[in-house]
Amino acid sequence: MSSGPTPGRGLGRDDLDIVDPDSYADGFPHATFQRLRDEAPVSWWPEHDGGKGFWAVTRYEDLLYVSQHVELFSSAQGITLEEIEGEDFHLRRNMLEYDPPEHTRYRRLVSKPFSRREVYGYEDGIRQLARDVVIDAQGLGDRFDYVDRVAKQLPMKMLGRLLGVPDSDGDWLVEQGDALLGNLDPEMTKHPVGLTDTDEFKHIPFRSPAALELYRYAEHQAELRRGCPMDDVITKLLSPTIDGECLTELQFKNLFVLMVSAGNDTTRYTMAGGIKALAEHPEQFAEVRQACIDGDAQVVERAVEEVLRWTSVTMHFRRTATQDVELNGQQIKQGDKVVVWFSSADYDDRQFADPYTFDIHRWPNDHVAFNLRSPHLCLGAQLARMELKVLFEELLPRITSVEIDGPIERLRSNFICGMKRLPVRVTWA
Ligand code: HEM
């Protein structure tokens, strides 16, 4: 085990504006959030684009409190900083944006194909895809961009197989997913929010025309299955439960858009963060590699959990206060936006010993990368874990070393912490 930077030293500036996407240009601004956790755990932030401002919740315990008290902190008025109301919001709402009891009902309709049991059934298919991607990367030689050639290739292919859409649509779906979650980054979309006028798209998810394309695609996929059910997740999602309940067409389309965005980039960026962490900790790379060779699943699974904590790629989600409420000494007013910072909570030294130390043996490791202790716990958590584990198992035995081989480029975002380019140099076994 080797140490990372010491808190307060080597973590960068501690006074950055957490609203500004450019504050994340060099990665998550740890020093700034460390200071907030220590000095102002619940702090008020004005917004520059006409937004009404928000409370930033940065400590682990407070994040759990907000996530679990859905009667005080609602998701039903939006889960990003963007403020959108009325019919526009109603049309684009996805399952993240419901409160119980509607959310509970919605979740019951869609959760089965993503349960741990079902996901085990996908393992062979996932492994084959991972193997193919690794073999393709091997054909590139010792130096390549890990994001482009490995991490970007897998999640959408894997999700696409489960959903039952043609492999050949994978690249197009990745492009649309990128435009959604990268909606602040001019490299990812022609319509970056905040840099161009996106008012005409305010009624669609992420204020992005890519969502319209995905709506059309989802409609077409649903149509294909209507008279002719297939053995895939889309068919399962469209089928009524034993109680005869079923998703509406709009709910299905919004869920499809959510899966293509949430199920694609998040896993990609976690994969990239995982190999970067191992490249920076060669002794832990060697240990996980040996565990993959020996079939020691526990070591690999714990390494995956630490990668999830360490990368914590969805930096925040928002709630809205349903009444006046006090949180850690701050008086929050009904209607205020309350933003919980997962990437901050995952480095809270009140919860994690030596949080800036990457430690594949960390256990227990109750990170909040999936917000597992909230009603909105990530639907794709088991799938993402399986993808991350299988990729390690297929890749690591085939390489004896990995190092970072050039400048890293990051997504311009205050929402998703991701690398767009991660040049690596590997030694093939
Ligand atoms: C490493 C990868 C992933 C990370 C870090 C991640 C993170 C998260 C987080 C933090 C939430 C909770 C949001 C909240 O509290 O409001 C969430 C919810 C969700 N995630 Fe993921 N996710 C990942 C992969 C996936 C995948 C592969 C899928 C594909 C199906 C997916 C689909 C969803 C959905 C549908 C929800 C909404 C659940 C609900 O509202 O009940 N995610 N995710």
Rounded CA-CA distance 198/92 in Å is: 15
If one counts every other C-beta atom within 10 angstroms of the C-beta of residue 60, the result is 24
Q: What are the pLDDT digits (tens) for 310-340? A: 999 999 999 999 999 999 999 999 999 999 9
pLDDT (0 to 100) of residue 15: 92
Does residue 13 fall inside a structural domain? no
- Between the CA of 314 and the centroid of ligand 1 the distance, in Å, is 9
Is 200 a member of any domain? yes
Q: Is the CB of 317 under 6 A from ligand 1?
A: yes
Indicate the pTM of the whole model: 0.94
> Dihedrals φ, ψ of 400, to 5°?
-100, -15
Pocket of ligand 1 contains residue 151 by CB under 6 Å: no
- For the chain, the straight-line distance linking the first and the last C-alpha, in angstroms and rounded, comes to 24
Q: What is the per-residue pLDDT across 131-171, written as a single tens digit (0 to 9) for each? A: 999 999 999 999 999 999 999 999 988 899 889 999 899 89
Q: Residue 36 domain-assigned?
A: yes
What pLDDT, on a 0 to 100 scale, did the predictor assign at position 10?
Answer: 65
- Cβ-count burial 142-181 (b if 16+ within 10 Å, e if not): eebbbbebbbbbbbbbbbbbbbbbeeeebeebbebbbbbb
Asked if residue 14 is part of any domain, the answer here is: no
| Continuous segment of H or E residues that includes residue 299 | helix 297-311
Q: Is residue 10 part of a domain?
A: no
66 CB within 6 A, ligand 1: no
Distance, CA of 189 to CA of 180 (rounded, Å): 8
- pLDDT single digits (tens) 380-417: 999 999 999 999 999 999 999 999 999 999 999 999 99
378, 382, 417, best to mutate for ligand 1 pocket (most atoms within 8 Å of CB): 378
Report the pLDDT value the prediction gives residue 1, as an integer from 0 to 100: 39
CATH number at residue 30: 1.10.630.10
CA angle 173, 175, 179 (to 5 degrees): 115
- Token pair for 310: 């360490």
Say if 168 falls within a structural domain. Answer: yes
Q: Which two tokens stand for residue 121?
A: 């059934």
Structural domain containing residue 191:
21-428
Predicted local confidence at residue 348, as pLDDT: 98
Three-state DSSP class for residue 404: strand
- How far is ligand 1, taken at its centre, from the CA of residue 181, in Å? 13
Q: What is the mean pLDDT of the chain?
A: 92
Give CA–CA dist 368/31, Å, rounded: 19
Say if residues 293 and 240 touch (Cβ distance below 8 Å).
no
Confidence of residue 194 (pLDDT cuts 50, 70, 90): confident
Residue type, 2: S
* Domains in the chain, number: 1
Verify whether ligand 1 is closer than 6 Å to residue 390 (CB atom): no
